[in-house]
Chains A and B, each alone.
Chain A
Amino acid sequence: MIDKLVTEENITSNGFSNTNNLPPASSFPPPIKKKRNLPGTPGMYHTSNSYPEAEVIALSPKTLMATNRFMCEICGKGFQRDQNLQLHRRGHNLPWKLKQRTSKEVRKRVYVCPEKSCVHNHPSRALGDLTGIKKHFCRKHGEKKWKCAKCSKCYAVQSDWKAHSKTCGTREYKCDCGTIFSRRDSFITHRAFCDALAEETARVTAASHFNNVTPSGSVGNINYHFVGPPVLAGPTMAHHFSNSSSIFKPILTNPENHLDPTQQDGLSLWTSSNNNSNGNVNNNELRDLHQLGHQNHPSHSEYQPNWGVFGVKNTSDHDPNVSAPPSLLSTLNNLPQTHASASMSATALLQKAAQMGSTSSATTNHTSFLGSFGVNSSNNYNITTDTVATHVQDENKFCGLYGTSPMMNSYRGSELENDFSSLDEMYPPSKRRHIHVEEHHGGQTRDFLGVGIQPISHPRIRFDHV
């Protein structure tokens, strides 16, 4: 039932205040949409096919919504249901003949929606159940008279409203930092400012969640009711996106390195993974991102935490990593968004990476890197030869922001797929990072692409010391 609700709510959201008016045509599902059965009533949507001789009844809206469709011919009393009418007729002590129904077999009746523009108006899409068509008509074309007191969401069918009211407000929202909210609005606001925002967990359902999100016609009425597991923290598209944004984080900062996030390593990670960029195009961009992170894993396990961060985020605010990104990012955002000064081919980058010794910290470089990433200008990255964000589905918005995000899609490694499930462990305690530091001699931060390596001092960077 919930599924059906989703669909229909989707469709009716635009017309929630309509009273039997035509909802905008665009809101209707195209006829090609696959037919779904109501759970519990198999074959309903195929009724006309199942009952080829079915009598197609087209009731007017008034008749449809009339509560007394079944009239007793003797006294004229109206009943909502045929069974009730029959029961009543018995009381009239009719002679046997008249007791029977009309002689002919009761034909299967299918009903069409009186709304002309509705898909169910056509006999081939008629519904076999009168109650069903009534509810359908109400939901899609009816006035939403029932309103949830808690969240102001409107319903046209009373039973829908009741069902919603039972669960409204019982849902809990959990932020990545561990705080739980019972109110969605405070959850959203918290999320926007939470430190944990910098490190998003990737949930596999994120993309699918967003697909299911119901556009709501009114403010504040978005109901996450339909979203699956309540553990989803907020708009999972958020996760979705933040995964991409958190790509920057590991590159930019490795707090344990205390101001020398080994950019070189970051870069080399990128560039080395460059070669493997012809990984399978994953439909789930999230997975890409995971793998992106994991890509780096084998060569630089110390980075795993950073990368893994957006794989899974179970660490809370106290994680030292957390504080770093905001400050860095803030500096990044402050700087003008310049494109990366060079568009380099993959080979050139590789060479550069190989040459890179210890270089200066490159916060500016971060910026330039980020700058090019920032808005729609990732065209500087000719890193990947092949992939563009082709598989990005309704991550179209994301794409819109980042143009083609070759970075994202190019690094698809298969090595760490299994790690995806164990991201918890992937976020290692700090000591691993320390190891990392030693190994790489604390190379200075550098421009991620190896461009514009300049010394930079950024007093604003604060790293929590591990």
Chain B
Amino acid sequence: MERTTHLSPYTSHHQTTTKHHPYSDSGGTETCPDDDKWASKLLRECAQAISDKDSGKINHLLWMLNELSSPYGDCDQKLAYYFLQALFCKATESGQRCYKTLVSVADKSHCFDSARKLILKFQEVSPWTTFGHVASNGAILEAFDGETNLHIIDISNTLCTQWPTLLEALATRTDETPSLKLTVVVTAAMVRSVMKEITQRMEKFARLMGVPFTFNVINGSNKPLGKFTKEELGVQDDEAIAVNCIGALRRVEVEERGDVIRLFRSLNPRVVTIVEEEADFTSSRSDFVKCFDECLRYYTLYFEMLDESFTPTSNERLMLERECSRSIVRVLSCDDKHNIGYGDCERREKGNQWCERLNELFSHVGFSDDVVDDVKALLKRYRTGWSLAIDQTDPNSNSNSGSGILLAWKDEPVVWASSWKP
């Protein structure tokens, strides 16, 4: 289908990894003009200084960044602010404490209403999350075709916003509505606290749709995800299983990711759908500057995307940015060994990296043409800037035998979605 186009006005480059200026025609960017990218310069210098342990320079740069940054300013100022926080923690080795504080602050101001409002608004203005949902739902529905006893293991923190459309599709697609059991494994603390409300809403909605529905929530933060058993997940032999993993693999500690994939395999699912954000914070774990660069690149994209998708005074955007700050602190200044909690890792990997892991036990299933069309139709409903790319790891193959599809923002791949079968 679509390949990453090089004719688009958004890009004049081919490399994507080290870029933090994804589009060179600054005419289109009101908030972050090219010639003003002081933040990334300073930030990188500071990261380098920290890596070099040049304390004089560190202090100087931290001071400068502190003066110039603001969480309420433009993109640069915001990036400066949030990355400054992480750099400071790194320099003072207070990452863990800072992270815990950030988390507890967020927790206190968090409730079902605000969480719901946040995620729904985000989904309204940006396909960042809905992209993965549509692709996954499509793959799941196709894999479940003809089955009557469905069981989806949902390992995600998207507050179940993926499932209403799936329920609706189940209800209307055939005369024989199958029964659905949904087991949600929740790792993020903030999501856990609202799961009661979510449970209630989902069950009600399923009743509405006329889909026989069972809903279970499993606390995924007590132990490593890979240590869960089939029984704990409630998997039964007569069920058709699908594993839906949205933004969850990255939360597993790097060393344990293999375990998780083995767990998936042991459930013998019809389909495994994986959606992850396209960034690599893992392979550069030991190299602070490299990791920092990648972090900066990715979050610059994200912040710019948020900036252009939301209104300038949006509170939701502010909250999303704050969420990022926790991730940034976590990745850059928290030592993984500290084990702050299960399910908090945030070290992303890129699609091809996940593929390597998954290829051991699974084989990739391309999204069908219909699903791809659905995704394209979805993207059309949003503002311009979004496009679909097929994973380029195998450029010789025809459209869908690549290893997934990518959502691209201004031609930069940002979210990767794929589906697998044993």
Contacts and interface: CB of A to CB of B under 8 A. Distances in A.
Contacts of A334: 196, 199
B174 A329 contact: no
Contact of B377 (A150, A186, A193): A150
Contacts of B169: 216, 219-220, 222
Contact of A215 (B175, B202, B205, B371): B175
Contacts of A186: 120, 123-124
Interface in B152-171: 161, 163-165, 167-169, 171
A244 B207 CA distance: 9
Nearest to A216: B173
B374 A189 contact: no
B208 A220 contact: no
Contacts of B171: 235, 237, 397
Nearest to A210: B210
Given A188-B168, A237-B210, A152 B204 contact: no
B14 interface: no
A401 B124 CA distance: 32
Residue from A218, A219, A401 with most neighbouring chain B CB atoms (10 Å): A219
Given A330-B199, A333-B200, A215 B210 contact: no
A219 B142 contact: yes
A183 B125 CA distance: 12
Given A185-B134, A213-B172, A219-B142, A191 B205 contact: yes
Question: How many B residues are at the interface, by size bracket?
Answer: 35 or more
Contacts, number: 136
Question: How many A residues are at the interface, by size bracket?
Answer: 35 or more
Interface in A142-165: 147-152
Interface string A210-245: 000111111111100000000000010111111011
B377 A152 contact: yes
Nearest to B202: A192
Contact of B380 (A149, A241, A400): A149
Given A220-B134, A334-B196, A189 B204 contact: no
B138 interface: yes
Nearest to B115: A193
Interface string B173-217: 111010000000000000000001101111111011111100000
Nearest to A333: B200
Nearest to A148: B377
Contacts of A198: 204
A398 interface: yes
Contacts of A242: 204, 207-208
Interface string A185-201: 11011111100011010
A214 B169 CA distance: 11
Given A218-B370, A220-B165, 17 more contacts: A150-B377, A150-B381, A152-B370, A189-B123, A192-B163, A197-B201, A197-B204, A216-B173, A219-B173, A221-B374, A235-B171, A237-B209, A241-B207, A245-B204, A330-B197, A398-B207, A401-B210
Q: Which 4 A-B pairs have the closest CB atoms?
A: A397-B210, A192-B164, A238-B208, A192-B205
